Amino acid sequence: MQIREGAIAVNGTPTLFYGGELPYFRVRDEEGDEKRTWLLWEDRLRQMKAAHMNLVATYVPWDYHELEEGRFDFSGVRDLRKFLGMCHAHRFYVHLKPGPLITAEWPRGMGTFGAVPAWWKEKHPEALVRRADGSVFKFFPFTRSDQAQPTYLHPAYLSSVRKWFAAVAPIIREYIFEKPTIVFLQIDNETNFYWGDVLGDVDWSETSLAGYRALVQERYGRPDGKPPEELPMGDELSGNMAVADWFDYLRQYTQEYQLTLRGYWEELGISESSVLFTTNDSPFGLPGREVLLPDHARKNRVGLHGLDTYPKMIPLNGALFDQPFQPDYHAVRFREASAERFGEPGALLAAEIQGGMFSLPLGIRTEVTPAQTNQLIAKLVGRGMAAGSFYVAAGGINADGSDYDYQALIGRNGKRHPRFEAVAKWGSFLNRQKDRLLASRDLPAQVGLLVSRAYETPAGGMDIPPAWLASIGYPGLYGLLLHAGVAVKIIEAEDANASDFAPLPVVFFANPGFLTAHTAGVLGRYVEGGGTLVNFLSATAQDRDGSRASEHDAYAALFSGSRFLRFRNAGFLGSRAIARVNDSDVRVSLAGHSSGVVPLAGARPFLWKKSLWPGRRGEVLGYEQEWKRGRVIYVGADFFSVYNSGGLYGLSVAERTAHRDLIRGWIESAGVRPALTASDPRDLVWIRRTAGGFFVYWIRGSEGGASMVQLTGKRCAKSDGDPVRDLLGGWYGTCLRDGLIELSLPANDVAVLWVPNP
């Protein structure tokens, strides 16, 4: 297994992997009959093959196979070897996920968290995760006691994990070496401390605290360390570095745990010469919890870091997606983060593509529709997906016999969900176009979007929650730029240097209220050298602990030239603003935060709070200012995060047009022409190119009907009026003249056009 030029190669052959989760332990006969269970496996595999899939993913639950200490059962309905043999016979590749942790709402549905055996937890209470008050941590307070979880590096836990792996290894070795089937091997699952609040819930066990104190001792020379229970989290900045230390330690702790697990597999003779190790994360938090967000650099050192994307989770709100640009933005970040270890341009593993959603208490459901699935696949394939798997492809039953009703592509009864057709359509497309797709690349970047790992850690005394910015705000800003038709390069602030900025006339940055010294330096030198910086939200010349470094002082005028007032929620009266766009005043809504600014002499305001008095403008919210050889555009308002929320679908055409025209005005004045222009601002259109031509991905807006896209600097290579076929089938675009394509699509539908070079 190798990763080369963005593709994952099997025996030297670049392969595009497309499949879904088939949990053999859930797809079983209710009465435990092995032959009827095997027939169910056979049926689900055949149906997945009918969807043009070539990849099966499955967990291997520890508690399902080690029923008592030392007694392993891999027979009958638990016959893992039989299941892998069926996958091999149907010519599927397998992504095997033997834990030891699997999440998966196993063993009894929502609120349970598998699959460390209950008998093990009962025997080893000293090895369980503790909350700050010393009590045992559980995901939900009302869940059963057997849903407590082990701390990662406790010796008793690791010893038992080693035995679990040793029991699995002889079975899977056959399907790695003798009958090559297993190509991916996951190192644990969503190893982010059980979705717990790390500032109070996890992990305050003695095993964890010992490591934290060692880190503090090494970092600060304190013999006893500073216990994390003293972490201050109020409005003061003084506690922020303690919080940062705690988060940094937990990331190190997670990496050490995953490297330990990988080492166990290597001791058993299974290494990356024969399989590709993987890790995975969901790049979002939970309300009221400060969770660990993806740690790309460390996790890619363990295995290819896979994206779990679930953009639709909130029930009953009517929005197509709750986080529309979660898949787009994080697909690019995950893909590019893998490049450091696996080479440019990196490889995107969509480890879990939302294939449904469990029901909430009282029968409340989050409906996942064919339109959502259709668009989600387009967003991942159109960002260069090398491998992807739906969670879940087939429903089944939990350990207690209850229904695992996940709205799966194939239901518990074997019937296909309406989304199955969309998945099969994409499977056919991927099979036909796999070589071109694997060779396709993004357009050359026109603007930069600066992001920072430092903003993934919560902090007190900040106007904007950094973790919110990392998981919600930046994807929204990325989505706004895509709607403006520009090609975006995501730049990691911690690793940025002059070469990252040099070819980019404009860089966008959403500032939560602090700058690391390195970030202040690279941005300051960029503007000083003639670049345009679009600075949203806040301006500051200090770090998150209130300190100032030489870089802050050198560019203090750049970041503090305007006096940003304290941010506040937009509220009822302040939810709208007036923007000056193309010499006209246009009303725009603010997503949630706004702040007045005091322009410097010579500044050119372009955004004002809406006044209560008709015909008047309120306080200034944004202006642009020349600075040395460059330019700074200050925007003391948030109108971008709505692009990563359900509120996107409520924006009017006029507001979307205003947002788009503001972005285009800034970049065009810096000499950048958008890569494309959609006639309907609700359409999302982007391009990936190959040596022979380019793919045009087109997601139609909520109204449907005819729409046009002007491609800058591209030619149709066809005569005026000639058709351009949608590769997904059913629709045809028309070349009206060079670079202009017309297409008629139903509302929220998707097309992929292939336009050959002239």
Tokens 């939900």 correspond to: 140
Give the confidence band of 568 by pLDDT, cuts at 50, 70, 90: very low
- 33-60: pLDDT as tens digits: 999 999 999 999 999 999 999 999 999 9
Which carries the bigger pLDDT value, residue 741 or residue 594?
741
Is the Cβ–Cβ distance between 60 and 98 less than 8 Å?
yes
Cis peptide before 150 (omega within 30 of 0): no
The owner of tokens 């507001």 is 655
How much is the pLDDT for 221?
82
CA neighbor of 650 nearest in space, from 166, 408, 248, 318? 318
Hey, what are 49's tokens? 């093959």
The pLDDT of 426-446, averaged and rounded, is: 97
Question: How confident is residue 566, by pLDDT bands cut at 50, 70 and 90?
Answer: very low
Alpha-carbon distance of 503 to 525, in angstroms, equals 14
pLDDT band of 720, cuts 50, 70, 90: confident
3-state SS, residue 12: coil
The DSSP string of 22-33 is: --TTTSS-TT--
pLDDT attached to residue 594:
65
Share of the chain above pLDDT 70, in %: 95
Average pLDDT of 389-402? 96
Q: Would strands 593-594 and 604-610 be described as parallel, antiparallel, or unpaired?
A: unpaired
CB–CB of 182/96 below 8 Å?
A: yes
CA distance 606 to 207: 55
Contacts 24+ apart (CB under 8 A), 559-562: 559/515, 559/520, 559/524, 559/535, 561/600, 561/625, 561/627, 561/632, 562/597, 562/598, 562/599, 562/600, 562/603, 562/623, 562/625, 562/634
**pLDDT tens-digit map of 1-15:** 899 999 999 999 999
| Exposure of 724 in the CB half-sphere (CA atoms within 13 A) | 34
Question: Could you report the per-residue pLDDT of 261-315, keeping only the tens digit for each?
Answer: 999 999 999 999 899 999 999 999 888 889 999 999 999 999 999 999 999 999 9
The whole-chain average pLDDT of the chain stands at 91
pLDDT in tens, 351-360: 999 999 988 8
pLDDT tens digits, one per residue of 174-199: 999 999 999 999 999 999 999 999 98
Spell out the alpha helix ranges (H) of 348-497: 370-381, 419-439, 466-468, 474-483
